[in-house]
């Protein structure tokens, strides 16, 4: 039976090593996207000169998020990564205080410019590998608990896990076909989900590329209201939205004729004009039997035997197919959970609201970079892979950067990733052709 080494003589001082060897793939992908060029061209920096250019600080935050650094205070692990710094183009990695100082100095115009760069890249990649003619939006909100007493914008609101705790209440929109982040906004914690939903919808529609002829949307009960539904009707968007279970609906569902469509599940529909609405709308009711001792859910109304869920929709689908259509929205719950856990969305970096909004935007840009990289460059087995899987298999790889015969060679262990896979990914990166914005 083999034994471990009995005597080991450690040596400290070797350079050009990193345990994020796969970051060269992301760096090469960002070069192909011309991320740095877009930032230089579109972002108007008003900050005074310092040791780092603002673009370098933006890149530092994006790369730290991508490799899985959960807090700015933990970016010190990258300061001694010689190969990592050379690959991403930094002489030294900024200290956490430098990154926070940069975020606090960003003004509203710079934030808009950064978001514009994000929108330009999304628009360019919309046509790769081929343009789409339909979009499916999923809207949702989340709760980010905030720890600290002097954090701007943090307020006590709806917080199911930590009642009474101060929080932020961001609203997020995703495009379901490619699980792509579309638009988002960081809001104080005491804001209702529906507050500003019409303006949020308009911001999403302003980013829709031409030649898209069909738009559909799915949302939960937080968006149920006549103003939002009427805005969808005016924009001619097909929608399915969970309706809040108010008293008129409770009385109505007991009088409907249901037909079975899935085991013991049943469905019915009716037309109704709620108070304050301009016209009647179609409502679909899903009824399912209650198992013993089932916990209550906010979106369901419980009777002695059944649980009910109601949708308002303008889609010309059979009633049961409305439920099947809405069921696909569960993916956004996984995306938001991934943002919180793997991208550290819930880790608020500063005590200023605008600075946190900037970090929020850069974090979502990082999310989309990984999403585009996975969709366009990775093998099919990674099509639905989480970012943790991508990090484990491709990014967190020990490597040594050496220079031989005037060539930069990154030495990677054969046990982590195959050379054929790396060549295939590199070819796909080089083959990307972006539409000029």
- Written as one string, the DSSP assignment of 199-268 is HHHHHHHHTPPTT--EEEEEE-GGG-SHHHHHHHHHTT-EEEEEPP--HHHHHHHTTPPPEEEETTEEEE
Taking the CA atoms of residue 352, residue 353, residue 357 and residue 358 in that order, the dihedral angle to the nearest 10 degrees is -30
What's the average model confidence in pLDDT over 324-332? 93
pLDDT, position 405: 86
Of 89, 82, 88, 66, the C-alpha closest to 401 is 82
Q: Tell whether 244 is covered by a domain.
A: yes
Q: Tell whether 119 is covered by a domain.
A: no
Same domain, 411 and 356: yes
Q: Tell whether 72 is covered by a domain.
A: yes
Sign of CA dihedral 225, 228, 231, 233: negative
Same domain, 317 and 364: no
pLDDT, position 292: 63
What's the average model confidence in pLDDT over 289-298? 61
Give the pair of three-digit tokens for residue 207. 């980013």
Indicate whether 298 pLDDT > 50.
no
Same domain, 298 and 240: yes
Q: Tell whether 341 is covered by a domain.
A: no
Same domain, 393 and 318: no
The answer to whether residues 216 and 239 touch, using CB atoms and an 8 Å cutoff, is: yes
**Beta strand extents in 263-330 (DSSP E only):** 265-272, 281-289, 301-302, 306-313
Indicate whether 195 pLDDT > 90.
no
Indicate whether 266 pLDDT > 90.
yes
The answer to whether residues 215 and 176 touch, using CB atoms and an 8 Å cutoff, is: no
Choice between 45 and 201, residue whose per-residue pLDDT is larger:
201
Q: Tell whether 69 is covered by a domain.
A: yes
Indicate whether 100 pLDDT > 80.
yes
Same domain, 319 and 355: no
Strands 407-411 and 238-242: unpaired
Choice between 290 and 255, residue whose per-residue pLDDT is larger:
255
Q: Tell whether 172 is covered by a domain.
A: no
pLDDT, position 301: 58
Confidence of residue 127 (pLDDT cuts 50, 70, 90): confident
pLDDT, position 1: 66
Indicate whether 159 pLDDT > 90.
no
Same domain, 353 and 314: no
Percent of the chain's residues with pLDDT above 90 = 64
Same domain, 298 and 365: no
pLDDT, position 302: 56
Of 217, 270, 214, the C-alpha closest to 239 is 217
Range of the structural domain that residue 411 is part of = 17-110+348-431
What's the average model confidence in pLDDT over 128-154? 89
pLDDT, position 79: 86
Same domain, 259 and 312: yes
Confidence of residue 429 (pLDDT cuts 50, 70, 90): very high
Of 307, 348, 398, 13, the C-alpha closest to 151 is 348
Q: Number of structural domains, the chain?
A: 2
Place of tokens 């609405």: 277
What's the average model confidence in pLDDT over 10-37? 90
d(CA 37, CA 22): 23
Same domain, 297 and 357: no
What's the average model confidence in pLDDT over 242-249? 92
Q: What is the tens place of the pLDDT at every residue in 355-386? A: 999 999 999 999 999 999 999 999 999 988 99
> Which of 277, 308, 324 is at the close of a domain?
324
Q: Tell whether 192 is covered by a domain.
A: no
Q: Tell whether 250 is covered by a domain.
A: yes
Helices (H), 328-382: 330-341, 353-377
User: Average model confidence (pLDDT) for the chain?
Assistant: 90
Indicate whether 164 pLDDT > 60.
yes
Indicate whether 181 pLDDT > 90.
yes
């Amino acid at each position: 039976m083999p034994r471990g080494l009995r005597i080991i003589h450690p040596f400290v001082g070797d350079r050009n090593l990193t345990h994020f060897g796969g970051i060269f793939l992301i760096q090469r992908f960002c070069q192909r996207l011309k991320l740095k060029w877009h930032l230089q061209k579109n972002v108007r920096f008003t900050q005074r000169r310092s040791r780092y250019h603002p673009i370098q600080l933006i890149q530092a935050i994006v790369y730290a998020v991508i490799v899985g650094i959960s807090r700015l205070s933990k970016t010190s692990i990258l300061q001694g990564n010689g190969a990592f710094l050379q690959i991403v183009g930094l002489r030294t990695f900024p200290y956490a205080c430098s990154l926070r100082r940069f975020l606090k100095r960003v003004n509203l115009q710079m934030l808009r410019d950064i978001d514009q760069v994000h929108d330009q890249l999304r628009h360019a990649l919309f046509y790769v590998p081929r343009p789409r003619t339909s979009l499916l939006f999923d809207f949702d909100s989340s709760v980010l608990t905030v720890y600290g007493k002097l954090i701007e914008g943090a307020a006590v609101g709806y917080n199911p896990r930590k009642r009474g705790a101060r929080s932020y209440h961001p609203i997020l929109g995703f495009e379901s076909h490619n699980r792509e982040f579309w638009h988002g906004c960081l809001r104080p914690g005491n804001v209702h989900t529906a507050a500003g939903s019409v303006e949020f919808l308009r911001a999403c529609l302003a980013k829709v590329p031409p030649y898209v002829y069909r738009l559909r949307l799915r949302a939960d009960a937080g968006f149920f209201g006549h103003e939002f539904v009427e805005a969808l009707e005016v924009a001619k968007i097909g929608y399915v939205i969970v309706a809040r279970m108010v008293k008129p609906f409770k009385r109505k569902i007991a009088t409907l004729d249901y037909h079975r469509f899935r085991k013991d599940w049943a469905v019915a529909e009716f037309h109704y004009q709620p108070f304050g609405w301009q016209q009647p709308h179609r409502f679909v009711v899903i009824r399912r039997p209650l198992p013993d001792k089932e916990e209550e859910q906010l979106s369901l109304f419980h009777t002695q035997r059944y649980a009910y869920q109601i949708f308002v929709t303008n889609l010309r689908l059979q009633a049961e197919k409305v439920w099947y259509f809405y069921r696909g929205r569960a993916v956004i719950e996984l995306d938001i959970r991934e943002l919180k856990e793997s991208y550290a969305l819930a880790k608020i970096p500063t005590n200023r609201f605008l600075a946190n909004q900037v970090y929020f935007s850069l974090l979502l840009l990082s999310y989309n970079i990984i999403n585009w990289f996975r969709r366009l460059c990775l093998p099919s087995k990674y099509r639905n892979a989480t970012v943790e899987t991508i990090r484990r298999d491709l990014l967190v790889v020990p490597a040594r950067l050496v220079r031989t015969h005037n060539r930069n060679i990154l030495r990677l262990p054969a046990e982590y990733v195959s050379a054929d896979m790396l060549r295939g990914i590199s070819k796909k990166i080089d083959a990307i052709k972006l539409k000029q914005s």
